[in-house]
Structure 1
Amino acid sequence: MVNCVVRNWEGQEVGQASLELKVAKEENASHIVHRALVRQMTNARQGTVSTKTRSEVSGGGRKPWRQKGTGRARAGSIRSPLWRGGGVIFGPKPRDFEVKMNRKEKRLALRTALISRVEDWVVVEEFAEKLPRPKTKELMGAIGRWGVPDAAKILLILSEPAEMVYLSARNIAKLKLIRADQLNVYDLLWADKIVTTSSALAKIQEVYGG
């Protein structure tokens, strides 16, 4: 079980929150998290790049010049990979990069990655009502009061979408906004600080604690 201090909008400590998740054994933790990270990054590849082989290049239906007597090297087609504008040898073709991983393994890797960042968590009270209109400056001020350095990459986790929070956060270059039920290994490892609301923490327990 992990216990965290909960801070209010002004940055003051107002309570405690806990999270209990099943994680991988210490000797296997880095391996399973690495596998999940590689899977996520690999599956994000589109695999749509394509080059033309000599059979797909247009033209080249006849021999450019006769076999002998010209003094030039023999040539059979302008589609040869040796020619400018010819086909490509062993070039990339559309392919599926999908890497499969069992659902239980994916969940275990996600929980392990989340708990491994416990030292970088910042748990705060719900603050959507503090932003009646979009105000990036006010959100940045609150983040500073929560003890997050200005240059840090921040993952902000909410239990439910909040329009004013989204509009206030979208201009912050190093901040990602994500819902508690849509966590992923890459974002958890990318962030320097993970800011989550107390209700988001409860949602994480509900979704991933089973």
Structure 2
Amino acid sequence: MVESVVKNWQGEQVGETSFDLRVARPETASHIVHRALVRQMTNARQGTASTKTRSEVRGGGRKPWRQKGTGRARAGSIRSPLWRGGGVIFGPKPREFNLKMNRKERRLALRTAFISRAEDIVVVEEFSNELQRPKTKEMVAALARWGVEPEQKALLILSDIPENISLSTRNIEKLKLIAADQLNVFDILHADKIVVTTATLEKIQEVYGA
């Protein structure tokens, strides 16, 4: 059970809330979170790097010079890997880097990572009504009132993302906005501060609860 204070749009403490998620045992927690992080980063790789072998490089169909009598080394193609402009030996080819991880393990790793950041989680009231129109300056000021320093990387998690909030946050360099049902281990661990609303906490417990 994690207890946290709730702040309003002005940054004042207006109440308290608690949330509870089932996490991994202390002796295995770091291992399962690490596995989930490696899986996410590995699966994000495109795997599109490609080089041409000597059979794929254009040209080289004619023997450069006769086999004997020139005094030079034997050569059968100008596209040999030994030649400039030739093919590549054992170069990268398109491939998949996907790693598998059970759904229950992924959920457990996500809950464990989220609870491990409990000290850096800032809970605020719903504030979509406070922004009558998109205004980045007001959003930056609100983050400062909530205790997020300008140089800190912040993750803002909302149960649903209104257009005015999306437009107000997209130009803030060190702020990332995601929906509650799109949580991932990398974003949780990468952020210095995590800002959530009370509705978001309920959504997270509903979606990712045991």
User: Is the TM-score greater than 0.5?
Assistant: yes
The reply on whether 1:151 has 2:121 as its aligned counterpart is no
CA distance in 1, matches of 2:162, 2:3: 26
1:134 to partner: Cα distance: 0.8
1:71 to partner: Cα distance: 2.2
Match of 1:131 in 2: 131
Report the 3-state secondary structure (helix = DSSP H, G, I; strand = E; otherwise coil) of the residue aligned with 2:87.
coil
CA distance in 1, matches of 2:150, 2:61: 64
Match of 1:31 in 2: 31
CA distance in 2, matches of 1:182, 1:17: 22
The reply on whether 1:101 has 2:134 as its aligned counterpart is no
TM-score for the superposition, normalised by structure 2:
0.98
CA distance in 1, matches of 2:150, 2:57: 54
CA distance in 1, matches of 2:19, 2:85: 61
1:37 to partner: Cα distance: 0.3
Match of 1:49 in 2: 49
One-letter amino acid matched to 1:167: L
Q: Any idea what the Cα deviations from partners look like across 1:106-148, whole Å, max 9, x if unmatched? A: 0000000000000100000000000011111111111111111
Q: How many residues align?
A: 210
1:68 to partner: Cα distance: 1.9
One-letter amino acid matched to 1:43: N
Moved more, 187-196 or 70-79: 70-79
Q: Any idea what the Cα deviations from partners look like across 1:151-198, whole Å, max 9, x if unmatched? A: 100000001111111100000000000011110000000100000011
Match of 2:183 in 1: 183
The reply on whether 1:14 has 2:19 as its aligned counterpart is no
TM-score for the superposition, normalised by structure 1:
0.98
Match of 1:110 in 2: 110
Report the 3-state secondary structure (helix = DSSP H, G, I; strand = E; otherwise coil) of the residue aligned with 1:5.
strand
CA distance in 1, matches of 2:139, 2:57: 56
CA distance in 2, matches of 1:162, 1:206: 20
CA distance in 1, matches of 2:141, 2:120: 19
For structure 1, which runs of at least 5 residues remain unmatched after alignment?
none
For structure 2, which runs of at least 5 residues remain unmatched after alignment?
none
Runs in 1 of length 4+ with deviation above 2 angstroms?
none
Q: Any idea what the Cα deviations from partners look like across 1:78-113, whole Å, max 9, x if unmatched? A: 110011111100000000110000000000000000
Match of 2:119 in 1: 119
Alpha-carbon RMSD across the aligned residues, in angstroms, is 0.8
One-letter amino acid matched to 2:198: S
Identity of aligned residues (%): 74
1:10 to partner: Cα distance: 0.5
Match of 1:174 in 2: 174
Match of 1:202 in 2: 202
One-letter amino acid matched to 1:184: N
Match of 2:74 in 1: 74
One-letter amino acid matched to 1:25: R
CA distance in 2, matches of 1:10, 1:161: 20
CA distance in 2, matches of 1:175, 1:161: 14
